[in-house]
Amino acid sequence: MSWSQQSPEQSGEPGGFLQRAGRIGRSLENLLLAIILFAMIGLAAYQVALRNIAGSGISWADEALRLMVLWAAIVGAVAASRDNVHLRIDLLSRFLSRTGRMATAIVVDVFTVAVAGILAWYSWEFVAESREFGDQIFGDLPLWPFQAVLPAGFALIAYRYLIGAVIQLHTLLRSGGARP
């Protein structure tokens, strides 16, 4: 059982406020992802129709679509991290005991925290440089606020996997590793 599938009693976290906050966060992520995807599909379809019918399109549509793809990818990755359903290559789990699977999951989660943390750090530097150099989009808007999803998303992924690793370590230590 992964840390995202545990009940509050299994994970040791108190219910009430945290469960409500988790549900609100999940709903906001889903809503944001749905808005981005519908806007992206709608704008792309409108752009194609305009190019085919009128022979020209919206001047800013391609830039907007690139940004929407970036946001959809990052928000989608954050949503996948909340449910611990990122793509993984899992060759050993069927051969390991429950304790071995939990220990392996902790190692993988800690590795994920490290990679996402490094990505958050360097994407923060990237956004800071974009701000410093005055990069612009859509003519005269600063680009860095649109890029800020990168460090925020990677930091949230790192945070979620860190919490998951702590929960699994707590569960492993509490069970004493005695179960098969």
* pLDDT values of the chain reduced to their tens digit, one per residue, 180 residues: 455 555 444 444 556 787 788 788 889 999 999 999 999 999 999 999 999 998 888 889 999 999 999 999 999 999 988 877 766 667 777 788 888 888 888 998 999 999 999 999 999 999 999 999 999 998 899 999 999 999 999 999 999 999 889 988 988 888 865 444
Position of tokens 């992964």?
Answer: 2
Contact 152, 145 (CB under 8 A): no
* Phi-psi category of residue 56: left, alpha or beta, with phi > 0 → left and psi -120 to 50 → alpha: beta
pTM (2 d.p.)? 0.80
Cα torsion for 71, 77, 79, 85, to the nearest 10°?
160
Write down the pLDDT at residue 4. 54
Interatomic CA distance for residues 95 and 117, integer angstroms: 30
